Amino acid sequence: GIQVEQSPPDLILQEGANSTLRCNFSDSVNNLQWFHQNPWGQLINLFYIPSGTKQNGRLSATTVATERYSLLYISSSQTTDSGVYFCAAKAAGNKLTFGGGTRVLVKP
Amino acid sequence: NAGVTQTPKFQVLKTGQSMTLQCAQDMNHNSMYWYRQDPGMGLRLIYYSASEGTTDKGEVPNGYNVSRLNKREFSLRLESAAPSQTSVYFCASSPRQGARRTEAFFGQGTRLTVV
């Protein structure tokens, strides 16, 4: 099945800093999603982005499907951005596979 | 419009006990999934159901059974709970494979402890 790898595993930011999270996947995808898992364990949908670029406030994401990677950008980070960011990808078939996550801590 | 609803939210079991985790979605999705998340790790697929009447194993199916009761409901059963099954369990649903948009949505999770 598809392999999904995220980097870096951990990220410590000062409030106001910008950062980029990366997701590499091993096969052509028809679904690529980014999630934020908040400190209470909830999985929040951030982006559905099998290709192209999208923006939502201070967050944006780009997927380059032909090169098999996706990037999540956090600009002007806030303490509420802390948590774990997951990407998940689906190739042919129905199995949505998760990466290991990037744990983000934003310090005030 | 509740999305994906899981019950219960928390559960403590003794080793050897059985229980069923319930999941229901109201988005008319064809596909449903059960994942587990162990501390500090990503989500791993236990079982999924591409459509009503079909189920298939995921990455970690041992010790679990599932039932796709109808289009809305997908349950996960632990027949004889073991401490290794202590985890947070997430249910998810998505439109059918081949739909224009196949975004998956997740429930709030069930925190299960087996002692």
Compute the nearest-CA separation of B25 from chain A (Å): 16
Buried b (16+ CB within 10 A) or exposed e, A64-81: ebeebbbbbebeebeeeb
Instruction: Tell me the per-residue pLDDT of B17-34, one tens digit each, with 9 for 90 and over.
Output: 999 999 999 999 999 999
CB contact under 8 A, A93 and B97: yes
**Burial bucket for residue A39 (CB in 10 Å: 0-12, 13-18, 19+):** exposed
Q: Is the pLDDT of residue B1 over 70?
A: no
Q: What is the mean pLDDT of chain B?
A: 94
Instruction: Tell me the per-residue pLDDT of B40-76, one tens digit each, with 9 for 90 and over.
Output: 889 999 999 998 989 999 999 999 999 998 999 999 9
CB contact under 8 A, A95 and B48: yes
Q: What is the mean pLDDT of chain A?
A: 95
Average pLDDT over residues A41-67: 96
Please give the DSSP secondary-structure letter assigned to residue B83: G
Cβ contacts from A onto B, under 8 A = 52
Compute the nearest-CA separation of B26 from chain A (Å): 17
Among A10-14, A94-98, B4-8, B10-14, name the one with the lowest average pLDDT: A94-98
